Amino acid sequence: MSVLVTRRRAVPRKYVPVLVTACLFVAMFAAGGVRYDSFATGQVVLNVFIDNAFLLVVAVGMTFVILTGGIDLSVGAVVALSTMISASLVTDQGWPSAAVIPLVLAIGAALGWAMGCIIHYFEIQPFIVTLAGMFLARGLCYTIGTDSISITDETYTALAQARVDLPGGMFVSPSVVIALVVVLVAAYVLHYTRLGRNVYATGGSEQSALLMGLPVARTKIAVYTISGFCSALGGVLLSLYMLSGYGLHAVGMELDAIAAVVIGGTLLTGGSGYLLGTVLGVLVLGLIQTIISFEGTLSSWWTKIFIGLLLLVFILLQRLISVRRRT
């Protein structure tokens, strides 16, 4: 009976959480369009992308980690560290940006790789290892400098002010293009490569993956390296957005990234979820902020309360779906 019911449904059940997030995004956008003038334009959506390109990249890395059943608390700190290293090398040391950006990305990936190794080989919980990583990265920020360093390098400012024009008078920033490329590459890796299969398998059941002869060690280390790389790239994008490096940038961004992944329908136990969901999760978070800024009278703390409520609704929904699937 249940097979019949499933077959009659137009949408496979595994896509339901992503679809719900998509519907919610459309509904919020429609509600905003009805309530405010000049809200229902394509540029508002693009602005959400522009303002959240860095979060999108960070959340992509977080999706990999969460799909294996792990968690990475260090992302916000690595983002801050990347902005700080970029700013100090470019502004204070006068390095060319072509050398700084690869270096920053390498540092982020190396940090992630080191955390992955500790997590796997010494069997310490990811929560604690990445927490130590968070302290380390924030600490390194303050060692570089306690003040905000502004970036005046020509390449950076040119990139920050550049516009990629789209038809209909709309535009995006180069950061958005980079973020979308990251999303596409990550989606390809997750769904069409061996590494992607291994990520889902490890998250589904590490024991089974190990018994099947899958390279669990390599996969686990790889996802933390990817997350570190994405955080560093997110940091580069944030330094373009802010044109400064500061140890207090991106405080609490790890929570935003986790929330985006969860709203996107990925299970924290690992093994189930889609990258598209994460993109939608970031968009929903961004749209909440946009609506609150359009409303004007609402204080900023309502953002937090709304995000909390939204998390609750989504988790209850996922719970309902998974309970129904089991019975």
Partner 1 sequence: MNAVLRHRLLWPAVILAALLLTNLAFTDHFFSIEMKDGHLYGSLIDIVRFGAPLILVALGMTLVIATGGIDLSVGSVVSISGALACLRISGMDDQNSVSGVVAAAGLALVLSLALGAWNGFLVAGVGIQPIIATLILMVAGRGLAQLITDGQIITVNSGPYKLIGGGYWLTLPFGIIIVLAVLALTAVLTRRLALGLLIESVGGNAEASRLAGIRSRGVIITVYTFAALCAGVAGLMISSNVSSADGNNAGLWIELDAILAVVIGGTSLAGGRFSLGGTVLGALIIQTLTTTIYSIGVPPETTLLFKALVVTVVCLLQSPAFREKAFHRRRRPVAAPPAAEEKVRVPA
- Out of 99, 127, 181, 188, the only residue in the binding site for partner 1 (CB under 8 A) is 127
Instruction: State the chain's maximal CA–CA distance in angstroms.
Output: 69
The yes or no reply on residue 315 touching partner 1 (CB under 8 A) is yes
136: Cβ contacts below 8 Å, ≥ 6 apart:
74, 77, 111
- Out of 78, 85, 129, 257, the only residue in the binding site for partner 1 (CB under 8 A) is 129
Q: Cβ atoms within 10 A of the Cβ of 143, count?
A: 10
What sign for the dihedral angle of Cα 98, 101, 107, 112? Answer: negative
- Out of 136, 216, 282, 283, the only residue in the binding site for partner 1 (CB under 8 A) is 136
- Out of 109, 140, 230, 243, the only residue in the binding site for partner 1 (CB under 8 A) is 140
CA atoms within 13 A on the CB side of 262: 21
For residues 106 and 316, which CB has a smaller minimum distance to partner 1 in the complex?
A: 316
The yes or no reply on residue 170 touching partner 1 (CB under 8 A) is no
Tell me how far, at minimum, the Cβ of 126 lies from partner 1, in Å. 10
Tell me how far, at minimum, the Cβ of 211 lies from partner 1, in Å. 19
- Out of 138, 202, 224, 275, the only residue in the binding site for partner 1 (CB under 8 A) is 138
Considering only the stretches 94-102, 219-227, 253-261, 271-279, report the one whose residues sit in contact with partner 1 under the rule CB under 8 A. Answer: 253-261
- Out of 7, 8, 122, 296, the only residue in the binding site for partner 1 (CB under 8 A) is 122
For residue 91, the 8-state DSSP code is: I
Number of residues counted as binding partner 1 (CB under 8 A): 44
DSSP assignment of 99-153: HHHHHHHHHHHHHHHHHHHHHHHS---HHHHHHHHHHHHHHHHHHH-SS-EE---
The yes or no reply on residue 324 touching partner 1 (CB under 8 A) is no
Considering only the stretches 21-29, 131-139, 154-162, 201-209, report the one whose residues sit in contact with partner 1 under the rule CB under 8 A. Answer: 131-139
From CA 125, how far away is CA 166, in angstroms rounded? Answer: 46
196 forms beta bridges with none
The yes or no reply on residue 135 touching partner 1 (CB under 8 A) is yes
Q: Is 67 strand, coil or helix?
A: helix
- Out of 92, 96, 99, 121, the only residue in the binding site for partner 1 (CB under 8 A) is 121
Query: Do 66 and 273 touch, CB atoms closer than 8 A?
Result: yes
Binding mask 64-83 for partner 1 (x = CB under 8 A): -------x-x----------
Beta strands in 225-270 (DSSP E): 244-245
What is the residue type of 117?
C
Q: Which helix (H) or strand (E) holds 254?
A: helix 253-263
Tell me how far, at minimum, the Cβ of 302 lies from partner 1, in Å. 7
Which among 294, 307, 297, 238 has a CA at the least distance from the CA of 75? 238
Tell me how far, at minimum, the Cβ of 258 lies from partner 1, in Å. 7
- Out of 174, 218, 303, 321, the only residue in the binding site for partner 1 (CB under 8 A) is 303
The yes or no reply on residue 6 touching partner 1 (CB under 8 A) is no
The yes or no reply on residue 128 touching partner 1 (CB under 8 A) is yes
Beta strands in the chain (DSSP E): 149-150, 164-166, 170-172, 244-245
172 forms beta bridges with 164
Query: Do 190 and 279 touch, CB atoms closer than 8 A?
Result: no
What is the residue type of 311?
L
Residue ranges binding partner 1 (CB under 8 A)? 71, 73, 118, 121-125, 127-129, 131-133, 135-136, 138-140, 142-143, 146, 255, 258-259, 262, 268-269, 299-305, 307-309, 311-312, 315-316, 319, 323
